Structure 1
Amino acid sequence: MKIYHYVTASLLTALFMGGTAAESSAQRLYNGFAPYSSVSFGVGSSHYYGDLAGYRRGLRATYIMPRWNVGLGYTRQFTPKFAARAMFTWARISGDDYTFNKVDPLKYVQQYARNLHFRNDLKEFSITGIYNFIPDGRNSNARAKITPYVFGGLALLAHSPEARTPYNESSPDSSRRWVKLQPLRTEGQGQPGKDKPYSLVTLAVPVGIGVRYTFNESFNIGFEIGYRYTFTDYLDDVGGNPYPDLNSLQGIAGEMSNRRFERIAARKRNGPDRYAVLEDLFNNGTAEEKAAIQGALETPLRGGSGILRDGYVLTNLSIHYIIPGKIKCPPIK
């Protein structure tokens, strides 16, 4: 954790020092421009991309299981075109092999048979630079009416994926509980020859576009969409590792690691019998289809290739309050 404390301190120091330098430079380069600050609050949607919703099926991943986010930010406008923003965002992402692939189980039989799901509440602290395509006037009262912009920066991300325990017909009230997955080490992490347990804190790179509308002297309304590329492959608890030896896992870890033979889709309340679909396809399928289903149920591979890390997209509709600045009166001659 020390490295992440160091990164956080470095980000805050860089923001302060960079802001001081930028403001000093702005006063020299943009004579007469008065830097100003604003605070913002916004809400929007979140969209996950990873092993349970692949980048190659990005359009479906975008709309099939959207979740929510809320954010609180502070922005300093240093020049008519450049600003810096510190922002805290709480976002939920989610994925489900059954929901994502039920429209065509045979076409995506590997994922449908795998039957994994998760949810993850992300706590993101980001520092980004903002470039306005339309410059402001000399002060906050002379802001452009409509301002399109781009942004990019660095974020510190805390997360902890969860999933529901399997449905138990003999005790339905106690089954389907949300449990945290990282402590279960569902891919055998920490065992000899395996990866060490993944960290619940990581870095992300946010980039995106947005537009602001000047509502009046005190308020802006904004909308933006941004992608976060993370430095972890475990937002969904699924890396590129094979299934572990279930005898080496303790407690419910084995049940949460290999869910291919569960009959009921556990994520949804009153979930359907998803295994009956595989049985029907197998019993009535061609030899090729039967081989594909059998292969999906027997493959040692639990996750993807791991070439691309997990990521997510956030949309945000926000309101910005312009903090009143000091009024500078011209000198009397």
Structure 2
Amino acid sequence: MKNFVALFILGVILLSLVPTDAEAQRFTKRRRYASIGVNLNAMNYFGDIVPEADFTSLRVKSTRPNIGIEYTYRMYPRFSVRGNMFWGRITGDDRKSASQNEEENIPRYKRNLNFRNDIKELSGTMIFDLYENRGAYTRRPDFTPYAFVGVALFHHNPKAYHDGGQDLAEGYYELQPLGTEGQQVGGNGYASPYKKIQIAIPAGIGFRYKLDRLWDLSFEIGWRKTFTDYLDDVSGQYASKADLLSMGGEKGKAAAILSDRSGQSGFPGAMADPSGTPYSHLPGYGVKGEQRGDVTDDDWYIITGLHLTYIMPVRTRGPKFR
């Protein structure tokens, strides 16, 4: 919640800096210009499957690539609007993020969940430059720090890898249709299934370097505040494996097996499932009502990288003589 408040305050500050009508008239249309660009980024996430239950905790080795394209329109001396399309992947694995030799991380190691999630984002942001340019694009500063804030629509689809055994084939399984926390089981008081299409608030900082007359290179880091706790398919409590199996077929079997992986963690002490299913679990895991994730905090993802942009030259008309 504190982070969302900080983003909101940032948005208010940026909006307050939008030029007035008088300034807009001084910055003539002849000085406005557009640019197009490509982005090469790295992608990480903050959520339930990270080394520690902390917003700042991430696993560097879980970094995955992200690519994008952008269109930016310079409206005023300090102010631009930008549209982006991004595609990238986030991932997490309890067994790689934690260790059975680290006491504080043993609970996550025992839980033994993993996921990957391909995210497609369409966003619109407002960019505020620290240094203004009242002249033509050719006179823009060589180096410009900036901040941005906006809104994004993204599609996500978390999957988990199962390495075979337990009468379930090896491979990646889509988790949202399975309802691993009981969302798809009717009449049991479970929450509704989460949506694959979600809204996020992107905000961040960067700096832009003028390569030559028409080319810029930028480095930026942007956080995405989401309104879902299911980027990793982990949020609340375990469901009963018997209830999950009641969905029938491969779907019910996959839901029961992928909802609780503690019995496969290799940690000693596994016991039979109390609901009567043939799947084992560790004490404190896999039983209906026991904590599976942290329901109090929504997930975040972060995009960090380079933006190469090309300024589309503005044609100017000279005065006409009769």
Same fold (TM over 0.5): yes
- The 1-side partners of 2:159 and 2:259 are apart by 12
Distance apart, 1:308 and its partner CA = 1.5
1:246 and 2:241 matched: yes
- C-alpha distance after superposition, 1:73-101 (max 9, x if no partner): 00000011000000000010001111111
Please point out which of 89, 94, 100 is paired with 2:91: 94
- C-alpha distance after superposition, 1:209-268 (max 9, x if no partner): 00110111111011100100101111101112x211111221311001111101xxxxxx
Matched with 1:184 is 178
- The 2-side partners of 1:65 and 1:259 are apart by 20
- The one-letter code matched in structure 2 to 1:139 is A
Distance apart, 1:305 and its partner CA = 3.1
Please point out which of 231, 246, 268 is paired with 1:235: 231
Matched with 1:204 is 200
Matched with 1:110 is 107
Contact kept? 2:51, 2:59, Cα under 8 Å? no
- The 2-side partners of 1:332 and 1:25 are apart by 30
- The 1-side partners of 2:28 and 2:41 are apart by 38
- The 2-side partners of 1:303 and 1:153 are apart by 32
Matched with 1:7 is none
1:314 and 2:303 matched: yes
RMSD: 2.8
Q: Secondary structure at the match of 1:184?
A: coil
Distance apart, 1:331 and its partner CA = 6.4
Distance apart, 1:54 and its partner CA = 6.5
- The 2-side partners of 1:70 and 1:80 are apart by 29
Matched with 2:260 is 258
Please point out which of 310, 315, 320 is paired with 1:326: 315
Residues 326 and 148 of structure 1: CA distance in aligned 2, closer, same or farther (over 3 Å):
same
Q: Secondary structure at the match of 1:261?
A: helix
Give the TM-score of the pair, scaled to structure 1: 0.78
Matched with 1:40 is 37
Matched with 1:157 is 154
Q: Which runs of no fewer than 5 residues in structure 2 stay unpaired?
A: 1-14, 245-251, 270-281
Residues 229 and 322 of structure 1: CA distance in aligned 2, closer, same or farther (over 3 Å):
same
- The 2-side partners of 1:186 and 1:25 are apart by 57
- The 2-side partners of 1:66 and 1:301 are apart by 30
Q: Secondary structure at the match of 2:42?
A: strand
Distance apart, 1:32 and its partner CA = 7.6
Contact kept? 1:32, 1:138, Cα under 8 Å? no
Q: Secondary structure at the match of 1:134?
A: coil
Distance apart, 1:137 and its partner CA = 4.0
- The one-letter code matched in structure 1 to 2:174 is K
Q: Secondary structure at the match of 2:190?
A: coil
- The 2-side partners of 1:150 and 1:139 are apart by 21
Contact kept? 1:105, 1:112, Cα under 8 Å? no
- The one-letter code matched in structure 1 to 2:131 is I
Q: Structure 1: which 4+ aligned runs deviate by more than 2 Å? A: 21-27, 29-33, 54-60, 103-106, 166-169, 293-305, 328-333
Q: Secondary structure at the match of 1:326?
A: coil
Residues 37 and 325 of structure 1: CA distance in aligned 2, closer, same or farther (over 3 Å):
same
- The 2-side partners of 1:299 and 1:27 are apart by 60
- The 2-side partners of 1:62 and 1:110 are apart by 17
Distance apart, 1:149 and its partner CA = 0.1
- The 2-side partners of 1:159 and 1:297 are apart by 25
Residues 117 and 203 of structure 1: CA distance in aligned 2, closer, same or farther (over 3 Å):
same
Q: Which runs of no fewer than 5 residues in structure 1 stay unpaired?
A: 1-17, 263-273, 281-292
Question: Of Structure 1 and Structure 2, which has the larger fraction of its residues in helix?
Answer: 1
- The 1-side partners of 2:195 and 2:134 are apart by 45
Contact kept? 1:160, 1:180, Cα under 8 Å? yes
Q: Secondary structure at the match of 1:107?
A: helix
- The one-letter code matched in structure 1 to 2:32 is P
- The one-letter code matched in structure 2 to 1:221 is L
Contact kept? 1:85, 1:129, Cα under 8 Å? yes
Distance apart, 1:327 and its partner CA = 1.3
- The one-letter code matched in structure 2 to 1:94 is T
Residues 33 and 79 of structure 1: CA distance in aligned 2, closer, same or farther (over 3 Å):
farther
- C-alpha distance after superposition, 1:139-190 (max 9, x if no partner): 1111110010000000001000001124329x9xx84301111111111103
Q: Secondary structure at the match of 1:315?
A: strand
